Structure 1
Amino acid sequence: MTHTPAAQVTTKVHTRRQAILKLTASLGATLLAPGLASAAAETSGTWPNKPIKWIVAYPAGGGSDFLARQLAPALGKQLGQTLVIDNRPGAGGSIGTDAAAKSPGDGYTLLSGDNGAMIFNSAMYKKLPYAASDFTPVGMMARFPLILAVNPSSGFSSASQWLAEIKKNPGKYSYASPGIGSPHHLAMELIKQRSESFVVHVPYRGTAFAIQDVMSGIVPMAILDSAAGLSQIRAGKLRALAVLSKTRLQQLPDVPTFEELGLKGVDVSAWQGLFVPKGTPEPIVQRLTLEMNKAIALPEVKARLEEFGLQVIPGDGPSLARYLQQETQIWHTLIKERKLSAE
């Protein structure tokens, strides 16, 4: 693996941040388009008439699972049917995502899609059994800020000390992530590129397993998402050193950003969007968009999500499709330049 800095990628990452802000600002207005509500109202009266399967391509206990389980009861109530969470982890989200891609486009299969499964995997794997084009985006749901966390007994007391140590001792330390090709993994690759350092990657099959080994001291550190790691940080079982956001998190006001440490452009998050198999009737897609955003906006649901550090982002399918296109271009460049592979 090479560790040569890539100025082109850094510039594109900065551009990406600006695009995200503009996109996020436009999503709320997009949802108010009169056509959305009217088209959703035309949904066939026979749908849904049975439980709906919601595939989460990661293990129970992680951020993806948390978001789906918070939204499912409210969304199910609005649709008048039970939403059944179906965890299908493995291969960086490819197993569950492929299962969703091969499901009928009848409105009875939903997928939590993230930047790993929808963007990174197509560059990390030589062959994938599915493609992002096998899905119709319903809309963005939330962003998961990422956190660099360490075992309290690891010897790392601050982000600046951590950065100096890993630069001085390339390859001496290792870090855990939920898996190869996950947003957490790619985020650390960006940090390594920007800091000209090297930390050994130890991939796990999900966030819960990664957290457990960091807490037990098997691996000294991890890149974690806020939904999975915040409770352990609050309990003192993990120590947060830095956040990978442009600004500090409200839940961790004393934890600096990498921007403050002098690493520009390290503004990375995991995110979750809702998808359905290609061919799902448009009225059903638009009904799902409408009801999904209603569920996310419920005060009790939004409060629970924000308590765990998630940033709720309302959105629709076309906006998410444009975002996917932008992200794919940027991250595929980084993956290529870093010579990363899941095989």
Structure 2
Amino acid sequence: MKNLFTRRLFASALAAAGLASFAFSATAQQQGWPSKPVRIVVPYGAGSSPDVAARIIAERLSPRLGQPVVVENRPGAGGNNGTGAVAKSPGDGYTYVISTNGPLVYNTVLYKNLPYDPFKELKPVVLAGGQANVCTVRSDSGINDLRGLVDAMKKNPGKFNFSSTGVGSLSHLGIELLKVKTDTYAVHIPYASSPLAILAILQGDVQFACVPAVAVLPQVKAGKLRPLAVSTAKRSALTPDIPTMKEAGLPEIENLAWMAIMAPASTPDDIVRRMNQEINAVLAMPETKEKMHAQYMEPIGGAPQELARFMQQELRTMTPVIKRTGISME
């Protein structure tokens, strides 16, 4: 994961490279695709990072396809509900999902009986974007840095809760790894989206979280939250003042929140190639980059095959991490 994002993250112009190789086949043209609205399912709540990215992409994708691109929120079960629904949908080229680390990779290890197989029932379209998670606490918490949070958890066992965007999400497993590495304990309370996870901190229902920057930074600017660290290996160019976990004294913890657009596995390859071509073009637009950067997200792009390899790499990287935590879901 780290090598891929070192190459691609913060260099999203690569998304436009190789577009000429994705010619739309005569077969799909003869079928008249698309002849009706295209649907992108977001398996999280409104205002979540995938929701924001989906709406930015859909607005610019629609004129390129000549049809409306409708964004539909289907939150629940940490992203499994919406992701699984698309996995079971007909592969007619009109239904897609923009999902994340957990439902697309981690949950295949975390859940004993995941009701869908993202590697068999979904087909990669494009790696849409990524962003750092930001670990944060309330400004009036008395905690000034990540080491201070770890020390507070050790001094007050059983008194810390943390929120996440769902069981199996990076915002969940990243903190589980933090707990293992620092020998600390905190209770996990999952929510349907990053805005709700942040609201839980503001209301005092939990003491901290590590969630996407788009949900954290507005509250930091408002003086209500204090950022402690970003989860990536290097400081983000979009949040240059926030230290990495390594800089905060935790060198073995690095992760990044990513989102990918997937289609039902039976979707024709020529339609997937067309969608990949058009979304890559959208991601390369200056206005897309500007809007995503404003939400602390970086567009990525690339070929379907690259996304497939990346997901397998994520599976190899995170499987031992998940097993080390001892977490298992029914």
Q: Same fold (TM over 0.5)?
A: yes
Secondary structure of 2:107's aligned partner: helix
Alignment partners' CA distance in 1, 2:243 and 2:13: 29
Residues 29/64 of structure 1: CA separation in 2 closer, same or farther (3 Å cut): closer
Matched to 1:266, the amino acid is I
Cα RMSD for the two superposed structures: 2.1
Q: Please tell me whether residue 276 in structure 1 is matched to residue 263 in structure 2.
A: yes
User: Alpha-carbon deviation of 1:23?
Assistant: 6.9
Residues 63/41 of structure 1: CA separation in 2 closer, same or farther (3 Å cut): farther
Segment of structure 1 superposing worse, 57-66 or 23-32: 23-32
Structure 2: runs of 5+ lacking an equivalent = none
Matched to 1:207, the amino acid is S
Alignment partners' CA distance in 2, 1:26 and 1:207: 24
2:284 to 280, 291, 297: 297
Structure 1: runs of 5+ lacking an equivalent = 1-15
Alignment partners' CA distance in 2, 1:230 and 1:188: 19
Residues 144/26 of structure 1: CA separation in 2 closer, same or farther (3 Å cut): closer
Segment of structure 1 superposing worse, 41-50 or 289-298: 41-50
Task: Indicate the residue corresponding to 1:21 in structure 2.
Answer: 6
Q: Please tell me whether residue 181 in structure 1 is matched to residue 168 in structure 2.
A: yes
Alignment partners' CA distance in 1, 2:184 and 2:2: 23
Secondary structure of 2:162's aligned partner: strand
Count of residue pairs brought into register by the alignment: 327
Task: Indicate the residue corresponding to 2:80 in structure 1.
Answer: 94
- Residue correspondence of structure 1 range 157-168 to structure 2 within 5 A: 157-168=144-155
Segment of structure 1 superposing worse, 199-208 or 72-81: 199-208
Alignment partners' CA distance in 1, 2:179 and 2:94: 42
Alignment partners' CA distance in 2, 1:249 and 1:170: 32
Alignment partners' CA distance in 2, 1:150 and 1:262: 18
2:272 to 285, 288, 293: 285
Matched to 1:181, the amino acid is G
User: Alpha-carbon deviation of 1:230?
Assistant: 2.0
- Residue correspondence of structure 1 range 214-253 to structure 2 within 5 A: 214-253=201-240
Alignment partners' CA distance in 1, 2:160 and 2:142: 12
Q: Please tell me whether residue 143 in structure 1 is matched to residue 123 in structure 2.
A: no
Q: Please tell me whether residue 321 in structure 1 is matched to residue 318 in structure 2.
A: no
Task: Indicate the residue corresponding to 1:6 in structure 2.
Answer: none
Residues 40/225 of structure 1: CA separation in 2 closer, same or farther (3 Å cut): farther
Q: Please tell me whether residue 107 in structure 1 is matched to residue 93 in structure 2.
A: yes
Secondary structure of 1:202's aligned partner: strand
TM-score by length of 1: 0.89
Secondary structure of 2:127's aligned partner: strand
- Residue correspondence of structure 1 range 62-73 to structure 2 within 5 A: 62-73=48-59
User: Alpha-carbon deviation of 1:19?
Assistant: 5.0
Task: Indicate the residue corresponding to 1:122 in structure 2.
Answer: 108
Give the conservation status (yes or no) of the 8 Å contact 1:27–1:315: no
Residues 129/150 of structure 1: CA separation in 2 closer, same or farther (3 Å cut): same
User: Alpha-carbon deviation of 1:110?
Assistant: 0.9
Task: Indicate the residue corresponding to 1:12 in structure 2.
Answer: none
Secondary structure of 1:260's aligned partner: coil
1:209 to 193, 196, 215: 196
Residues 57/281 of structure 1: CA separation in 2 closer, same or farther (3 Å cut): same
Task: Indicate the residue corresponding to 1:80 in structure 2.
Answer: 66
Alignment partners' CA distance in 2, 1:123 and 1:33: 34
Matched to 1:302, the amino acid is K
Alignment partners' CA distance in 2, 1:26 and 1:243: 20
Identity among equivalent positions (%) equals 37
Residues 252/29 of structure 1: CA separation in 2 closer, same or farther (3 Å cut): closer
Alignment partners' CA distance in 1, 2:99 and 2:241: 31
Task: Indicate the residue corresponding to 1:192 in structure 2.
Answer: 179
User: Alpha-carbon deviation of 1:173?
Assistant: 1.1
Residues 152/56 of structure 1: CA separation in 2 closer, same or farther (3 Å cut): same
Alignment partners' CA distance in 2, 1:214 and 1:342: 25
Matched to 1:305, the amino acid is M
